[in-house]
Amino acid sequence: MSGNLQWGGRFQSAPDPALIAFGSSLEEDLALAAFDVQCSRAHVLALRGGKIIAQNQADELIAALDHIAAEIESGEFAAFARNSGAEDIHGAIDVRVRELTPAGAYLHAGRSRNDQVATTLLLYAADRAEKGKQVAARIIDRLLLYAEAERKEGTLLAGTTHWQPAQPVLLAFYLGAVAEGFMRDMHRFAEAASKAKEFCPLGSGALAGSTLPLDRKVACAALGFRQPTRNALDAIGNRDGALDVAHAFVRAAANASRMSEELIVWCAPAFSYARLGDEASTGSSLMPQKRNPDPFELVRGTAADLSGRYAGAVASIAAIGFSYHRDLQVTKSIIIGIVERGLAALDAFERALSHVTFNRARMNALADANFTVATDVADALIANGVSARDAHASVGAAVMRAEEEGRTLDATDLQRVAEEASLSGLDAPLDAKASVLAKKTFGSTHPDEVERALGTLRREIEAAS
């Protein structure tokens, strides 16, 4: 057997190299390298706390692990790991420790790759969740900067449902809506990071704990977990914490995708609501005139990809029993892919968003086109005692007449629907600005409500920073 595999004492034949290669997770594991060093440092403390190794051995092991941490930071360790013959990053680090000090032969005492993988993946997940929280905060800040500027300008927008003009809103109101979603993402990342660091699996062994007196509490504290896991069998097969972090990235990418979809449409010349700067646009190899919003299209595609991957991650654990099964290696790979790709997509979204400019004149001009004030007219009838059903029918008929005559709703329409309802007159907004100012409810698009909501978001983001 190869001396660089962490098993083999009971085997008579060397493993098939092709099958070892098939079972290797080294490439995706490289993202975990720094966290495995942290895990190993904590295990040294647990060994020393249980008087399983001497102080000089502990010192040598810590020094070796510090040396490897520096190699990981510089990028040097990746080449060593690929040439080590190890199946995964945990084995590669074990090989390197044994090269650096004879004490390395004691490092794996009382430890299985099972609890090592579970712990390292949680450390990684918590770290990336914090990074996800930070990029979500940057996106919110960017949206608020835009929203605060557009609120001062009073920029109007034809809010849509089904991609059809619906009611006038402030552009700042729309931007605030997007920011609210990312605020939920930021809290989701924070909660996932906290949950990932709740229980420390290190010291669980393969599935039953250890007969060695490992000091699990000192290892737990060193890694920043709140307490050791309570059940070793559950601990080594549990991937809930990492899945929660992956889910947070899936949800945040979905929010980024939704705004990306709108911006893609808005940047099309037929809309011309927005323009994406040259710094974030791409061209065509054939058509010289093209300006493509590729970053937003890639974010949209990535969100779909991550959603599918997440379903695969959950499916990969649904059929396995308790304790460790090699299927969990696939789970780990999927989670790392979701997290790394998700983080990259969110960062790209924020960068591309910073190069968007809004066409205020175009938005204002179309804010009350296509009868977006019709609902306000119906509301005015209802306020004067007309039933909602009758008001809807009356204004619908007025819209049909105006559409046939090629005009917008005007004062003559107000007079006609008032007469049909036996009213002496009717006061209702007939333009987008008046429509926005007429809103009365908490959380509406009224400028005062938008200002209040943006202020709340600003205070919340500042408190979380």
Active site residue 112: no
Alpha-carbon distances of 223 from 46, 198, 282, rounded to whole Å: 11, 11, 44
Task: Report whether 171 contacts 157 (CB < 8 A).
Answer: yes
The active-site residue out of 67, 187, 260, 284 is 284
How far apart are alpha carbons 373 and 179 in whole angstroms?
26
Phi, psi of 325 (to 5 degrees): -135, 150
The active-site residue out of 162, 285, 422, 465 is 162
Task: Report whether 417 contacts 377 (CB < 8 A).
Answer: yes
How far apart are alpha carbons 405 and 410 in whole angstroms?
12
Q: Which residues of 323-341 are buried (b: 16+ CB within 10 A; e: fewer)?
A: ebeeebbbbbbbbbbbbeb
How far apart are alpha carbons 367 and 158 in whole angstroms?
4
Task: Report whether 88 contacts 22 (CB < 8 A).
Answer: no
Active site residue 284: yes
Task: Report whether 156 contacts 168 (CB < 8 A).
Answer: yes
Task: Report whether 210 contacts 179 (CB < 8 A).
Answer: no
Alpha-carbon distances of 54 from 20, 46, 216, 282, rounded to whole Å: 35, 12, 17, 61
Q: Which residues of 420-459 are buried (b: 16+ CB within 10 A; e: fewer)?
A: ebebeebebbbbbbebbebbeeeebbbbebbbebbeebbe
Active-site residue set: 162, 284
